[in-house]
Structure 1
């Protein structure tokens, strides 16, 4: 039996995210429910409670115009905003990443919040694999005991849908698999 995930929803950053979503609902005058799919550092934070970020990488189930000036100050004194430049087309993602995303109980009205599942979150970081990505991936591997095989299977399947030269992605994947293999030991 799979143990349910306990998301870090009581942190200052998660409460800031909740306020950001409430403000977004109000500012856009939403009338119908939509889904928000979170990736990046905020997703890592919701899983581990340890990652700090100031931007929210998200895509939505319906077209929505995001206010460029939407900011929330968290209880930790950080400013939190929606990254209006985020585009999931630039990440390496399995074709079922939205279907396999997990719902986060944030208690918002019209915006249902989901995060990429742990393996998809790791795979999504392979394309860039810079800055905090290695430590994010290591934290996810430790938290969930994700194996190198699980990452490789999902990434290889995602690579089938990639258009272009995948050599750079495969090089990054090798580095991620080394991280996962060392954690396996």
Structure 2
């Protein structure tokens, strides 16, 4: 986890503590699985996302006054307005099956247990949309040494197995994403050059 001043998770945890207090005692633990830009921020720091993508284990009615919160920026006069995405779902993305089981437990806020998606699953989840920001996030995760290329390819294939319909464009995205990961993974290019070099 990156501990720099732009880390979102402490503020997200405090906000979920307020949400837990607002909801009151629950009959069972509720699990909150953080994905998207907030998860990228947790793993490698950098940009602050303007929303928090959370998949809930149970249906949660977020009160209107808790649907938005703020995070202090790097300077005292900088404040970032963050929206809670209460309607986030992993159905339309390229999330590998079982990603919730692999998510990292980072905190507990009352009866809310907070997890962050695994870096490899996070990179795979960005293949479906694959916009410029998604490409950059995949690259940064790989550059940080958090995404093994072979495991990434396997997780993407698992995700594609759950698609229904024409997956042509997603397959193209997957090939491009796999190339990004292999190019960005630390030391991988050097190892491949060594393997290709016939000299002793």
- Report the TM-score when normalising by structure 1: 0.87
Greater relative contact order (CA < 8 Å, ≥ 6 in sequence): 1
What is the deviation of 1:109? 2.4
Match for residue 52 of structure 1? 48
Match for residue 105 of structure 2? 103
Deviations 1:79-106 (A, max 9, x none): 12211232111111221111111111x3
How many residue pairs end up in the alignment? Answer: 179
2: CA distance, partners of 1:145 / 1:120:
11
Alpha carbons of 1:53 and 1:61: their partners in 2 closer, same or farther (altered >3 Å)? same
Alpha carbons of 1:25 and 1:7: their partners in 2 closer, same or farther (altered >3 Å)? farther
Deviations 1:72-131 (A, max 9, x none): 111221012211232111111221111111111x35222111111111101110111114
Partner SS for 1:36:
strand
Alpha carbons of 1:42 and 1:151: their partners in 2 closer, same or farther (altered >3 Å)? same
Confirm or deny: 8 A CA contact 2:102 2:118 kept in the other structure.
Answer: yes
Gaps of 5+ in 1: 1-5
Deviations 1:30-73 (A, max 9, x none): 42321100110000111112231120001111121123442211
1: CA distance, partners of 2:142 / 2:44:
11
Which protein is bigger by CA-based radius of gyration? 2
- Report the TM-score when normalising by structure 2: 0.81
Confirm or deny: 8 A CA contact 2:40 2:137 kept in the other structure.
Answer: yes
Greater than 4 Å deviation, 4+ residue runs: 9-12
Confirm or deny: 8 A CA contact 2:119 2:141 kept in the other structure.
Answer: yes
1:74 and 2:71 correspond: yes
Match for residue 169 of structure 1? 170
CA RMSD in angstroms comes to 1.9
Match for residue 3 of structure 1? none
